[in-house]
A = this chain, B = another copy of it.
Amino acid sequence: MTPEPFQREAVRRPASIKDVAAAAGVSATTVSHVLSGNRPVNEHTAARVRSVVNRLGYVPASLARSLQAGSTSVIGLLIPDISNTFFAELAKGAEDAAHDLGYGLILCNTEFDADREDRYLGMIRSRFIDGMVYASGSPPSRRRLEALMGKFPIALADEEVEGLEGALIATADHEAGGRLVGEHLRTLGHRRALMLTGPRALRSSNARANGFVRAFRGEVLELVGDFKESSGYGLVAKLLQEGGLPEDCTAVFAANDLMAFGALLALREAGLSVPEDVSVVGFDDIRAASLAHPPLTTVHQPAYDVGRTATAQLLQYVTRGEVPPASRHTLPVELKVRGSTAPAAR
């Protein structure tokens, strides 16, 4: 048996352009041009160079290339939680857009952790990446972003940032989503509802709530949650323990699907059935929504498009090298009526 190649080769220093040049008997310049095609090279020498390149397994060091070019052709995507399918879809859109223009995408998953966010933002300050799509669902640190947006290419996805207007933004139409839910429930005859909102600091969350309250035109009890399943569960369970839902309250609108699932669980545990006793509506249309029991009525967000649009905007900025005018893309949402809503029990 031959010795492990796995072990053998790992030691060698990778070939550089000089190695190739020397082995081919030409200058580094020529090698560079053979590879880039930036200027004509004698077909004969070119062939020789290429053969050496192959033999030595030479691959240009992208670091050196980037250093000299002043850009890396890589951008970042900062999100709070990749295992949330909403962000996963958004990431997919972002990656497709990046890929289309020959850019790489670094996923920056923060887990809502400020430390991580800082570290990732450092990548843009140190110019390891050419730009950043910022899609943090956490109430973002306004200060930090503000400073950065003046100096580096940044686009906001999904979530606007209070006070930062002159920016690139792609977001779903949260207000319209809330409105659709309000109309839907009203039409079904519901007159009192419980609303589980997201963090107050998030514009998207407020927009959903506002749109809903305005369209529903009934009585709404608002409880503030944090977009996690546990908070949906906790808020509803607590309410039920303390004497049940408000009288005649026959509907629950959660500002995202995860909280809706939590609410569903709490209701079920209390012996209430959905949608017979209470209707439940979510927001996002994550994959589990249609699979749940009962299938969740929810607002479909164009997560993929949000990611794709924001990224395309950013790359326009990055590739053109000039600061584009502020722009906002508000993408349409869609109400998905499923099994978790029904006419109000009387």
A64-84 CB mask vs B (1 if < 8 Å, else 0) is: 101100001010000000110
Residues of B within 8 A of A149 (CB): 6
Pairwise interchain contact B167-A127, C-beta atoms closer than 8 A: no
Question: A39: shortest Cβ distance to chain B, in Å?
Answer: 22
Q: Which of B107, B120, B150, B288 touches A6 (beta carbons < 8 Å)? A: B150
Mark out the residues of chain A between 3 and 46 whose CB falls within 8 Å of any chain B CB in the assembled complex. Answer: 4-12, 14
**A residues apposed to B, CB below 8 Å:** 4-12, 14, 57, 59-64, 66-67, 72, 74, 82-83, 85, 88-89, 91-92, 95, 99, 104-107, 109, 111, 116, 119-120, 122-123, 125-128, 149-153, 166-167, 261, 287-288, 291-295, 322-323, 326
- Residue of A89, A122, A125 contacting most chain B CB atoms (<10 Å): A125
> Are B106's CB and A106's CB within 8 A?
yes
A88 cross-chain contacts in B, Cβ below 8 A: 82-83, 85, 88
16 A-B residue pairs with CB within 8 Å: A6-B166, A7-B166, A7-B323, A9-B150, A10-B151, A10-B323, A57-B151, A59-B127, A60-B126, A61-B67, A72-B128, A74-B106, A83-B88, A92-B109, A104-B123, A288-B288
Tell whether, in the assembled complex, residue A61 and residue B127 are in contact, meaning their CB atoms are under 8 Å apart.
yes
Residue of B nearest to A86 (CB): B83
Given A63-B67, A95-B109, answer yes or no on A291-B294 (Cβ-Cβ < 8 Å). no
> Once the chains are docked, how many angstroms separate the CA of A153 from the CA of B11?
11
Alpha-carbon separation in the docked complex, A291 to B104 (Å): 35
Chain B, residue nearest A146 (CB): B5
What CA separation (Å) do A322 and B7 show in the bound complex?
9
**Most chain-B CB neighbours within 10 Å: which of A57, A63, A85, A91?**
A63
